[in-house]
Amino acid sequence: MSHFSRLWRWQVGNFRREAAEGREVGTDAPGRDALRDGGHAMKRYSVFAIAREALRHHAGWERAWASPQPKASYDAIIVGAGGHGLATAYYLGKNYGITNVAILEKGWLGGGNTGRNTTIIRSNYLQDSSAAIYEKARSLYETLSQDLNYNVMFSPRGVMMLAQTHHEVRGYLRTAHANKLQGVETEFITPQRVKELCPILNIDGPRYPVLGALWQARGGTGRHDAVAWGYARACSAMGMDIIQQCEVTGVRSEGGKVVGVDTTKGYIGTKKLGIVVAGHSGQLAEMAGFRLPIEAVALQALVSEPIKPCMDIVVMANTVHGYMSQSDKGEMVIGGGTDGFNNYTQRGSFHHIEETLRALIETFPIISRLKMLRQWGGIVDMTGDRSPIISKTPLGNCFINCGWGTGGFKAIPGSGWAMAELMAKGEPGPLAAEFDMWRFKEGRFIDESVAAGVAH
């Protein structure tokens, strides 16, 4: 589906929804409550707003979010304005009414892994606790554009995970059964159906023939930057302060409880602290006085030159370790492997590009003559069992959300939902309960490292 027709559908959807709710179509409805509480004025985006602005030289568009200076103190501070941090703040406000919140970002909003992933959304996990949180996230993505009044271009085009060895066939059959019990809609499909869904796939490869696939029809992709921008705009409208270029340099505590953070813009007091910084979780944890079972490594991805539409689903080939989808611009978006050693360089190793493409060419012969345009890396935080941590910490009123490793984008809404509940109540809800940081000591692993395959 083209970008324009998706935009149009979304606008029509807004129109229908507003009409159904009996509101005057195209008015500034959601901003009103926030305005009363001193929030950033937010005009509602709609097809009528576009028409209105078209007639007045687009002079009426406003900044999507405010850029305030920090206040002396807040009810809650979230470190990290990526998808997970902003989603946490959004659900703190939306679900728990906590809006005296600052989100501190050392760089720019959404400039870390949120803007560096391959935008895949799926929830076909083996373990119950993983399936629950990823499916929560996926289901929130379904209506996120309407909820945020910001087009995140969620495209449930279907995600296919190829089984190219007999081990994988058994593994995915098991996952399909587990998903059935968990209420996650997936199915194991035959090689013929794989070929129907994705004609450019070579299913008869000599080394790794396609023996079937795990298919999640409601998985897909989203516009990663828009997820951060949409949450940021909604947070700002609720009166939260998103403070960019404000690096946290220290965590202050009294009597075993956090009281504030030192930043490059001065000291800021807080009653609660949420650390949601992905690759730099280890550094923040050290400031807060504890250690994490996490190692940071670079994960990289690349895109090809744009070509005509040839593939309208997401395909993951975990045995050869590559995954691919086609962006709306026509580029083939390709995810590669992680570096095998700790690093914070955000660029990845050169030879991984060759490895990834070499592996994919057998399965996708058409990419053999494609030029690759851009390559980039992000720093992923890998835990011992390859599952995230959403947890209280040894420091009182300090909470951490990290360890999403190589698969965080798909989880953003669910992660924010669970983290907000943890921060608001001080205790984890059902979604986060299994993901505490003490599971490593107690041997309660949520072991997706052998369950989900490598690309995860």
Partner 1 sequence: MLLIECPCCGVKAEETELSPGYEAHLKRFGPGSTDEEFEAYMFARKNPKGVHFERWRHAYGCGKWFLAARCTATLEVFGTYPAQVGEPPADIIEKIKARRPDWKGYK
Q: Which residues lie near partner 1 (CB under 8 A)?
A: 280, 282-283, 291-296, 339-345, 349-351, 383-384, 440-442
The minimum distance between CB 90 and partner 1, in angstroms, equals 29
Nearer to partner 1, 214 or 353 (CB): 353
Q: Which is nearer to partner 1, 135 or 339 (CB)?
A: 339
26 vs 282, beta carbon nearer partner 1:
282
**Smallest distance, Å, CB 450 to partner 1?**
16
Nearer to partner 1, 223 or 392 (CB): 392
Q: Which is nearer to partner 1, 6 or 444 (CB)?
A: 444
Q: Which is nearer to partner 1, 113 or 179 (CB)?
A: 113
Beta-carbon-side half-sphere exposure of residue 140 (alpha carbons within 13 Å): 22
Closest separation in Å from C-beta 359 to partner 1: 15
> Cβ 295 to partner 1, closest distance in Å?
5
* Residue of 408, 452, 427, 403 whose CA lies nearest to 84: 408
The nearer residue to partner 1, 89 or 277, going by C-beta atoms, is: 277
